[in-house]
Structure 1
């Protein structure tokens, strides 16, 4: 399954997160852990690709992200927790599927992929009039950060709606790199 993801996000400070959390208090939090994969020489990153396995309480999924002019094309494959664990903890022997085919087509050797580490998110998510909103607390490499995301269908309208929502909430827009980029920044990767 694949879809085009168009999202806007901002980093939050602890006070902003606490204030937003009260708006999401009726939503049960979900814990998800993202495991990120690349080669020793960061071939995925050099090809502008991002590969993760995300585990949940009762399942998992493998996702390949490919940036587009507007948004990011995501290819997702459902995995069982056992399948995910085998890939994460083993020699990263990736099964043959559409994702591994796309990785090979981009010139990356799947047999050289390895688990770089993980980022755990406690997420509260709800559908709003302006799009699917997610409030995240992220824990990785002994760091904690907070972000607010809005996933939309229309890029221009979504951007305007998100900015208006932040003004309404008294939140200053703060640039938010992707989770994988923030995680990778802890690895001291040289570009």
Structure 2
């Protein structure tokens, strides 16, 4: 599948809250996944202006280029697979056009040659199926920051909201307005400059 709609809910956690959720659901029994996101943007922040984000993610020795764009139901994600060599070229600002993401970037009026590599964010992730949704616990490291996050990916807004509220209530965790990883990455990058 090269495109999908992502419906997800997020809540930043304190380290002790992360541990509560870890105990509340059977996260001990699932494998820890380490993944790294490599972020790209134009000098004049055209992606950000259009509410979009572009990343390469390395997960389980697979490289995926993903463009995220606003969609009425959540986020439209467009994916292309990359080889090791293509991913390394991208990180060196030597961009290899890929069919699906290039088409979407063109629709946004963004030339691939205007992109720049910004940096990376590494996440240690645990994920499991729960009540029809994917529940994710993330511990992310970027610049001199680290954070903890609960994510729920669901087939509908109603189901996702129900699952995240149940977990937060059961673990006595307040709801927090939570930026996505790329926004948190941008803030940390600006603070480090």
TM-score by structure 1 length? 0.92
Runs of 4+ that moved beyond 6 A: none
Q: For the Cα contact (< 8 Å) 2:27–2:126, is it kept in 1?
A: yes
Q: Aligned residue pairs: how many? A: 188
Which digits, 9 at most, give the CA deviation of each residue in 1:25-57, with x for residues without a partner? 111111100011001111111122110000124
Aligned to 2:181: 179
Aligned to 2:90: 87
Aligned to 2:34: 31
- Rounded Cα–Cα distance in structure 2 between residues aligned with 1:44 and 1:86: 20
Aligned to 1:103: 105
Which digits, 9 at most, give the CA deviation of each residue in 1:76-121, with x for residues without a partner? 1122333212211x22313241101211221112101011111100
1:111 is paired with a residue of what secondary structure?
Answer: helix
- Rounded Cα–Cα distance in structure 1 between residues aligned with 2:56 and 2:74: 20
Aligned to 1:66: 69
1:186 is paired with a residue of what secondary structure?
Answer: helix
Which ranges in structure 1 are unaligned for 5 or more consecutive residues? none
Which ranges in structure 2 are unaligned for 5 or more consecutive residues? none
Are positions 1:150 and 2:152 aligned together?
A: yes
- Rounded Cα–Cα distance in structure 2 between residues aligned with 1:67 and 1:32: 23
Q: For the Cα contact (< 8 Å) 1:92–1:115, is it kept in 2?
A: no
Q: For the Cα contact (< 8 Å) 1:64–1:74, is it kept in 2?
A: yes
- Rounded Cα–Cα distance in structure 1 between residues aligned with 2:189 and 2:141: 15
Aligned to 1:12: 13
TM-score by structure 2 length? 0.91
1:170 is paired with a residue of what secondary structure?
Answer: coil
2:95 is paired with a residue of what secondary structure?
Answer: coil
Aligned to 1:123: 125
- Rounded Cα–Cα distance in structure 1 between residues aligned with 2:160 and 2:19: 24
CA-atom RMSD, angstroms? 1.5
